[in-house]
Chains A and B, each alone.
Chain A
Amino acid sequence: SQQGEEDPQALSIQEGENATMNCSYKTSINNLQWYRQNSGRGLVHLILIRSNEREKHSGRLRVTLDTSKKSSSLLITASRAADTASYFCATVPGGSYIPTFGRGTSLIVHP
């Protein structure tokens, strides 16, 4: 089944640095979404990028999508300790409305 896979599985950086996470998937998609999960909490939707879009921005977040490579990246600029969380990509295959989630990237930002 369609599944996004994040890379790296874990990322540890210092406050102020940029954090980049990648997501790869296997088949054509309708859209790709990024979610954030703080430890022991539910997921929170961050940003959605449609298959006909190449880049989107939201505050300190920048998402790119390369449908030819079936990959997406999430960049968090000027990271803060409060950005510490797990980040998941979710892909929605064409003709479906149900996202499939990857295993996530665990980001730790050291103050």
Chain B
Amino acid sequence: SQTIHQWPATLVQPVGSPLSLECTVEGTSNPNLYWYRQAAGRGLQLLFYSVGIGQISSEVPQNLSASRPQDRQFILSSKKLLLSDSGFYLCAWSVFGGSTDTQYFGPGTRLTVL
């Protein structure tokens, strides 16, 4: 069966510090991968998605970036965090070319920027 991992679970970082969040998927090949951010009491904002290694699409301009160095690994990064980067970050995957577009989410990372 497929599983998705995210780490760390929680993170407290000072403003201006770098960020690296990692997401890995097991049990499937060539998944579509997604990074979302969820502010408190809000819906999900799609940040990046990827349909293959090295293929990254950005949905919103920001100081975040994403990379997909391996088929089942998706990394969210920042060189300098802002206070507004605080939130709950969720990674998700879906079947490439699937007929249902169902998304499967990881447990999330709670990021607090102070």
Interface residues of A (CB under 8 A from B): 30-31, 33, 35, 40-45, 48, 88, 90, 92, 97-104
**Of B32, B41, B43, B100, which one neighbours A102 at CB under 8 angstroms?**
B43
Q: Which secondary structure characterizes the binding site on chain B?
A: strand
Interface residues of B (CB under 8 A from A): 32, 34, 36, 41-44, 46, 49, 88, 90, 92, 94, 98, 100-108, 110
Q: Are B90 and A42 in contact (CB-based, < 8 A)? A: yes
Q: Are A43 and B103 in contact (CB-based, < 8 A)? A: yes
CB-CB under 8 A from B92, the residues of chain A are: 42-43
Q: Which of B34, B42, B92, B101 has the most CB of A within 10 A?
A: B101
CB-CB under 8 A from A104, the residues of chain B are: 43
CB-CB under 8 A from A101, the residues of chain B are: 36, 43-44
Q: Which of B36, B41, B46, B103 has the most CB of A within 10 A?
A: B103
Q: Which secondary structure characterizes the binding site on chain A?
A: strand
Q: Tell me how far the C-beta of A7 lies from the nearest C-beta in chain B, rounded to whole angstroms.
A: 13
Report the Cα distance A103→B41, complex, angstroms. Answer: 8
Q: Are B44 and A88 in contact (CB-based, < 8 A)? A: yes
